[in-house]
Structure 1
Amino acid sequence: MHRRIIAPGALAAASLLLAIPASAASYSPGAPGIGDPYYPYYGNGGYDVSHYDLRLQYQPKTDELQGTTTILAKTTQDLSSFDLDFLLDVSEVRVNGAKAAFTHSQQHELVITPKTPLAKGTPITVVVRYSGVPSTKTAYGFNSWHRTPDGAVAADEPEAAWWWFPSNDHPSDKATYDVSVAVPDGTQAISNGTLQATSSKLGWTRYSWRQNKPQATYLATLAIGKFDITTGTSDGGVPVINAYSKDLGDNDGAARASVERTGEIVDWLSNYFGPYPFSTAGGYVPNTTTGYALETQTRVYYSPKQFAKGANASVVVHELAHQWYGDDVSLKGWKDIWINEGFATYAQWLWSEHEGEGTTQELADYVYASHPADDPFWTVKPGDPGPDKQFDAAVYDRGALAIQALRKAVGDDAFFAILKGWPQEHAYGNASVADFERYAEQVSGKPLASLFDTWLFQPSKPAAPAGGAASLAKASTKVAQPKSWKKIEAAHDGQEAAQEARGR
């Protein structure tokens, strides 16, 4: 018999190996991106968030933000570490009560290593304590935190959360929210959903808001400043909360004349899209220098520039239509942006007809005739426009043209059944352009692959306009601009300019 002599150190190492479960090898870091080809590092892999609890304090004079965000989630793989998307200065992270190691990586990644690895399917509570001056933080050369004379605003697309709370920043991971913000007395804090409570102590007032339906991170908003707040209830029973900065100047009247129609427009849209999907509706107009509006869930953000030329209810229609198309049913990936912008624009076309300022067919004819075959407009594919063209005018206008083509192909009965049924089919979830095509085929009973390919995916002008031969002669000649056109275009002019300013 030959004996093998094992050194004490080797024996200890062997004992340690025996103590580690065989499954430990399966633990690995969560991906630093959720897998969206448009934005490879947006969102994160390895977990799914169910709720965000934000407890913040903000000083408008210095732009200093302090916060504790608690995230409730569940792991979707065996995790050794995972990322959150965040830019501010972190002082402590805890995972399931135990302190966790953390570091910053890439341009906006907070990498967290829990004390012990996390098995797949484990409920986790992540607590992040942080502080910073959001206006001093940039990523990829831009900043999405907007200072105002009396505070600040977080409202941007496709990213805004990094500047005020750590998150899994991608629309495919929706969650509910509690947002509680302390600000100096005389200043207000506005967010999504319903105001649950206010309290004052030692010169500070705390506002606590709740969003009780799933919400994408880019649709979470925060507005801090001095506002005039109005409340009411639509005829259909939807509570409405609107807010206007007290220093809007000459834009104040036009802003109110537009946004105060929110309740009326919500009820009108419900006739087309079905019951309003959230607990409240409304909007706010802070004194910002941005030019766009954004469909922040239940509390739409409007730039005062939207009303510089007078009242524009069409912009309000666009953003409120998003509450169904974009907020209730959110895109699976950023390439599916047509489901947001095409339908919100088409809602404006329906409103134009309602107001007697141009029918949907007249608008379709105008869009088709306004762009010759060699216009770069037709090279943009609304069904997958690419990150550089995600907010191009074609996504909105050619996108709405595609919807008119669908309407003509399936007939009004099936079309309006699709329009109303879609938000119920995917309520509070996510869906893709391909999902919509399948749903439209299911409801209409017609094959639609060729139509969708022609209008959404071919980089060329379709041979015939939406509406077919009846409109062809008209569309081949000069078509008068519908009265509503400039109001409709204002809904995306500001978004295009914002993306250009970022180099997109």
Structure 2
Amino acid sequence: MGELSVKWVVCAGLVATLAVGGCTAGRDSTTDRPSAPASQRAPHFTPGAAGAGDPYFPTYGNGGYDVAGYDLALRFDPATGKLAGTATITATATQDLSRFNLDLAHLAASEVRVDGRPATSRAEGNELVVTPAAGIVQGRPFTVVVRYGGVPEPLNNEALGKGGWFRTDDGAFALGQPESASTWFPVNDHPSDKATFRLAMTVPDGLEVLSNGVPGRRASTAGWTTWAWAENTPMASYLATVVIGQYRITTTTHAGKPMILAVPESMPAGSPAAKSIARTGEITDFLASQFGPYPFDANGGVVVADDRLDYALETQTRPVYGDTFFSGSEDTGVVAHELGHQWYGDSLALHRWQDIWLNEGFATYADWLWQEHEGKRTVAQSFDGTYAKFTDWSEPTGKPGPDGIFDPAVYERGAMTLYALRREIGDAAFAGLLKSWAAQHRDGNVTTDEFIAAAQQASGGRDLGPLFQAWLFGTTKPPRP
């Protein structure tokens, strides 16, 4: 998992981590002769970590491997609530692996194979611990096939709420942040390990299935229909979604890419929700003029009418909106927010949850830009209104704490930070930064330190340390820019 994985070297016959010191990578500490290449050394197999090492959520994700792709073939029966099927996971070992963990909550694996050979597995809480028949050497690709099933349930975080698989009267939906994927498939559930995603979901005839990416071939047999979806651009696991139920789907082409919009069949075609997401293409085009080309092969949105869903989420290529946003009137601001995430949060995903302002501050700023484009209020007016009403400056935007990742300090103060930066470096330099930041890190993972360095470069080398200290890390009200 990139910088989160543990890398090992052999020093004087002992295994040590690079972080510990006491030896020099690439040299034999006894003879000072160049050590043999990794491919020629005897492997030292050790278990992958049961967490990605995120300071806020240490148990989320896993170490020891990097996933390339998930390929799911699943069947869901709304009558029983049971989900069953097979997950095929392609990955590469980032250390010599004796065993590794996958995140899997409330579901049971009946069979696990690694590279076609039976593997031993056991459940430990919300983890599936897999021991392959033979160790996997660092740098070697491998394939894991997991047959599993059960009745999925959401995960509950007392501070942040529930996320994951929610059963409905006619189907289900899977959604949540900071974790949700592990409630419906085995996964390395941390955004630092992005992977492609393919889903074939079989449901009773008469139900629709919405998911990420480009729609594939649909096939029906014996009263069941299989819906296929593919997201071929790497995606953070919490951005994976599936929505099952009775939906009215509109499929068009926008800018040469499939545009899939869906609202519940029970919702009138002219409802505020339907009219709001119908502007997805228009809003995408405007944001592309600000941030650069739209980064994915498909676009769209899904509205879910369920009282448990009181938020919207930027699920990659196809945001999901709780219908509470559209009660009585259109709200294109939330559409602009979630579409802004397609650049900042999806294409540019987080290395660690502490830096979530890079997602939410940018998406809130995207909403401000859209409001100005619509002639409602300028970005300056959005800043002024937010600055005037903002009351709790004690929580730093760049370090909100694990219980504060969805607080106003992340969203509103994050957007104000961007406006303060714009005022400091000038409109032209800031506009260039928005595009270059998205382009240089497309399909990757980013940190606050990287953004600060990019801003310094865009400013021509100006010292921006005081600005970011005040707006991201200070605990008192910064002066108006």
Provide the TM-score with structure 2 as the length reference: 0.88
Counterpart contact for 1:418–1:443, Cα < 8 Å:
yes
The answer to whether the 8 Å contact 1:172/1:216 transfers is yes
- Matching residue's letter, 2:45: Y
The answer (yes or no) to whether the contact 1:66–1:132 under 8 Å persists in 2 is: yes
The one-letter amino acid of 1:282's match is G
- In structure 1, the residue matched to 2:472 is 456
Q: 1:30 aligns with which of 35, 41, 48?
A: 48
| CA distance in structure 2 between the aligned counterparts of 1:56 and 1:272, rounded to whole angstroms | 39
Q: Does 1:86 align with 2:104?
A: yes
What is the letter of the counterpart of residue 245 of structure 1?
P
Given candidates 329, 337, 340, the residue that maps to 2:359 is 340
Residues in 2 aligned to 1:51 and 1:22: alpha-carbon distance in whole angstroms: 29
Residue identity in the other structure for 1:362: Q
| Alignment equivalent of 2:83, drawn from 65, 76, 79 | 65
Match of 2:386 in 1: 367
Deviation at 1:355, TM superposition (A): 1.6
Residue equivalent to 1:245: 264
Question: Corresponding residue for 2:195?
Answer: 175
Shift of 1:458: 0.8
Residue of 434, 447, 463 corresponding to 1:419: 434
Are the aligned partners of 1:194 and 1:211 in contact in 2 as well (CA < 8 Å)? yes
2:445 maps to a residue whose letter is N
Deviation at 1:195, TM superposition (A): 0.7
Partner amino acid, structure 1, of 2:165: W
Q: Size of the alignment, in residue pairs?
A: 436
User: Which runs of structure 2 are paired with 1:36-435 in the superposition (5 Å)?
Assistant: 36-87=54-105, 88-105=107-124, 107-135=125-153, 138=155, 142=162, 144-234=164-254, 236-248=255-267, 253-289=271-307, 290-371=309-390, 375=391, 377-435=392-450
Partner residue in 2 for 1:474: none
Secondary structure of residue in 2 paired with 1:23: coil
Any gaps of 5 or more consecutive residues in structure 1? 1-20, 467-504
Q: Residues of 2 paired with 1:260 and 1:310: CA distance? A: 14
Contact 2:301 2:318 in 1 (8 A): yes
Check conservation: 1:193, 1:280, Cα contact below 8 A. Answer: yes
What is the CA–CA distance in structure 2 between the aligned matches of 1:443 and 1:316, rounded to whole Å?
Answer: 29
RMSD: 1.6
One-letter amino acid matched to 1:455: W
Residue pair 2:163, 2:177 contacting (<8 A) in 1 also:
no
Question: What one-letter code is carried by the residue in structure 2 that aligns with 1:433?
Answer: T
Q: Which residue of 2 aligns with 1:499?
A: none
The higher radius of gyration belongs to 1
- The gaps in structure 2 that reach 5 residues or longer are 1-39
**Which structure's residues are more often strand, by fraction?**
2
* Cα deviation, residue 194, structure 1: 0.5
User: What is the CA distance between 1:252 and its match in structure 2?
Assistant: 6.7
2:469 maps to a residue whose letter is D
Aligned 8 A contact 2:163 2:176 in 1:
no
Give the CA deviation at 1:237. Answer: 3.6
- 1:380 Cα deviation after fit: 1.5
Higher helix share: 1
What TM-score, normalized by structure 1, do the two folds share?
0.84
Opposite residue 253 of structure 2, the aligned amino acid is T
Deviation at 1:438, TM superposition (A): 0.5
Q: How much identity, in percent, do the aligned residues show?
A: 49
Inter-partner Cα distance in structure 2 for 1:432 and 1:143: 24
**2:191 counterpart SS class:** coil
Q: Which aligned segments of 4 or more residues in structure 1 are displaced greater than 6 angstroms?
A: none
CA distance in 2, matches of 1:450, 1:252: 50
